[in-house]
Every structure is written in structure tokens, then in C-alpha cells.
Amino acid sequence: MTAKLRQTALPVVLPAVFAALIAVSTLITVPLPGGVPVTLQTFAVALTGYCLGVRRSVPAVAVYLLLGAAGVPVFAGFSAGPAVLAGKTGGFLFGFLLLAPLCSLGGALRNRAFAVLCGLAGLALCHLAGVLWFARLTGTGFASAAMAVSVPFLLKDALSVAAAMALSLRLKPVLGRIK
């Protein structure tokens, strides 16, 4: 691949590939009674952040959200449309726009523990957005909403962030060679 092609194509292609990865991470969905399903989206968004940096990870997440809003069934359970973004999981979906850049910040540093902490801070903001959105939408209190849609996912999501950071250590050298 020529240097000019790398400079023009890869800044567009890599975010598109990671947007597709986020979409694929919803193919396995375990619905739960609270209305927020178990998926691998958190892992995929964190991996996007750790691998691409802020300049590319935020557009990748935005493309994913725009595709879903436009009707492409990329959300959990093959769902799509503005109603999903306005629904019970909307706060978490928009919260991905906070998770990715914080993972990017951590990924830019050489300290693995700090990288995970940055990712966990992004996860906390993502969950906060999700809980506040869910509470407002359903008319429940913050504590009840957190118990319904956040607390059951915290361990899985924290492990997802740590696993994404670990995998990014393997992927970044490969991505660096094609950038």
C-alpha cells in the first residue's frame, strides 16, 4: 500500500471497521427483565478506544450510533431506529461516546494500570448516563434504576474493559504497521 493511500484511506477505513466490530458485538444478546440486555458492546467500544485513539474512536462510535439511528439493525437484538436511542438503553448507547475517549486516553499512556483506570472511569460515566436516562424514562429513582440496569452488569463490564485493554496491547502493533 502506498504512503499516500495509507494517509487518505486508513483514517476512514479503521473507524469503519471498528464501527462494524461494535455492531457485530450485539449479535449475541441475552435479554433481561429490566430491558437492558447483556451484549459484548462494552468490550467492543473499549477496544475501539484503546486501539484507535480519540481522533478515530469517537467517530467510530458515532458512525455506529448513526447507522442504528438511520435504521440499520446494529443495536442489541437486531434493533434499529431513533426509538432505540430514545428507549431504555439510549443512555448507555450515548454513554459509549464517553467510554471510547477515556479508553483512548488510557491507551495513549504506557502505564497499564492507569489505562485500565481510565477505561473504568469511562465505564462509570457510561453507566451513569445509562442509569440517569433509564430513571428519567421509567420514572424510577436513581437507586432503583441503578439496581435494575447497572449493578448487575458492573463486573462483566469492568472485566470487558480490562480484557479490551489487554487485547489492544496485541493489536496496536499490528494496527501501527498498517496505519
Per-residue pLDDT tens over the stretch 39-92 = 999 999 999 999 999 999 999 999 999 999 999 999 998 999 999 999 999 999
Judge whether residue 175 has pLDDT over 90. no
pLDDT, mean of residues 103-125: 94
> Which pTM value belongs to this model?
0.92
Q: How confident is the model at residue 3 (pLDDT cuts 50, 70, 90)?
A: low
Domain containing 127: what range? 3-178
Q: How confident is the model at residue 177 (pLDDT cuts 50, 70, 90)?
A: low
pLDDT at residue 7, rounded to an integer: 65
Number of domains, the chain? 1
Judge whether residue 2 has pLDDT over 90. no
CATH of the domain at 158: 1.10.1760.20
Place of cell 478506544: 49
Judge whether residue 1 has pLDDT over 60. no
The span from the CA of 106 to the CA of 95, in Å, is 17
Name the β-bridge partners of 75. 79
pLDDT at residue 94, rounded to an integer: 98
Determine contact, residues 95/127, Cβ cutoff 8 Å.
Answer: yes
Give pLDDT tens digits for 23-44: 999 998 888 777 778 899 999 9
Integer-rounded Cα radius of gyration of the chain: 16
pLDDT at residue 164, rounded to an integer: 97
Give percent above pLDDT 70 in the chain: 94
pLDDT at residue 33, rounded to an integer: 74
Name the β-bridge partners of 30. 38
Determine contact, residues 123/42, Cβ cutoff 8 Å.
Answer: yes
Cell of residue 56, nine digits: 478515530
